[in-house]
Structure 1
Amino acid sequence: MSVRGIRGAITVDTNEKEPILKATLEMLHAIVADNNIQPDDICSVFITVTNDLDDTFPAVAIRQMSGWELVPLMCALEVPVKGSLARCIRLMVTVNTDKTQAEIKHVYLGGAQVLRPDLTQS
């Protein structure tokens, strides 16, 4: 078994609590489904947001999911690079898995598909 990182990103239209929480859950559910992982497989989840998203902590949505109460979560601000993608939530989910690096499915949704078109599923 190896420790692997699974990346994900999604954008939201507004800096409001409900869209931020909904987008966070949409992305996490896609990561979990695409990679067939369970909360017990997860070492930690690192969440970043761009500095234009400050209405809530995205971790709030994850913490309320059944079975995720003990998963270590941390939120931080993304590096504010000029011209970078606005209103973006990013996840780094670190998991214990038998999958190879090539078998990991990263998830880029909404406007975040431009970040890694090479990894975006059609």
Structure 2
Amino acid sequence: MTIRAIRGATTLTADERDHLHARTQELVVAMLEANSLDTDALISVFFTCTPDIVSDFPAAAARAINLGDVPLMCAQEMPVPGALPLVVRVMMHAHLDTPRNQVQHVYLHDAVSLRRDLAQ
């Protein structure tokens, strides 16, 4: 089985814990569904947030949807002037036999503007 990286991102309308959890969970589930994966195929998930998100860790949201046994890590994005605000990004590593150019990356809400070439 091949290891692939799957990218995804979403945006928040406000930095509120429940909203962060809902949008993060929506994104993770969409990434799994788009690639026909279950959590057993996951190797690790790396989350980043723009510096304006401080209400909670996206990994906490992921643990709430049964990813507690998957290695999860969070980090802060670089504070680049003019960058899209309130963004949660994900890099998911999984066992996936799909060719790299057929991996389905998922960009939701205003994050579709980040990678129109990859967004579904």
TM-score interval, smaller chain: over 0.9
- The unaligned stretches of length 5 or more in structure 2 are none
Give the deviation of 1:103 after TM superposition: 1.5
**Could you tell me which residue of structure 2 aligns to residue 10 of structure 1?**
10
Judge conservation of contact 2:25–2:65 (CA < 8 Å) in 1. Answer: no
Q: How many residues align?
A: 120
- Counterpart CA distance in 2 for 1:65 and 1:22 is 10
How much identity, in percent, do the aligned residues show?
40
Equivalent AA in structure 2 for residue 45 of structure 1: V
Please list, as runs of the form range in 1=range in 2, the aligned pairs for 1:6-45 lying within 5 A after superposition.
Answer: 6-45=6-45
Give the deviation of 1:2 after TM superposition: 1.1
Give the TM-score of the pair, scaled to structure 2: 0.97
- The unaligned stretches of length 5 or more in structure 1 are none
Give the TM-score of the pair, scaled to structure 1: 0.95
**Could you tell me which residue of structure 2 aligns to residue 55 of structure 1?**
55
- Whether 1:83 aligns to 2:82 is yes
Is the partner of 1:6 in helix, strand or coil?
strand
Deviations 1:2-24 (A, max 9, x none): 11100000000101101100000
- Counterpart CA distance in 2 for 1:26 and 1:65 is 10
Deviations 1:57-111 (A, max 9, x none): 1111111223x22100001001111111100000000001111101200000100
The two structures, once aligned, show a CA RMSD in angstroms of 0.8
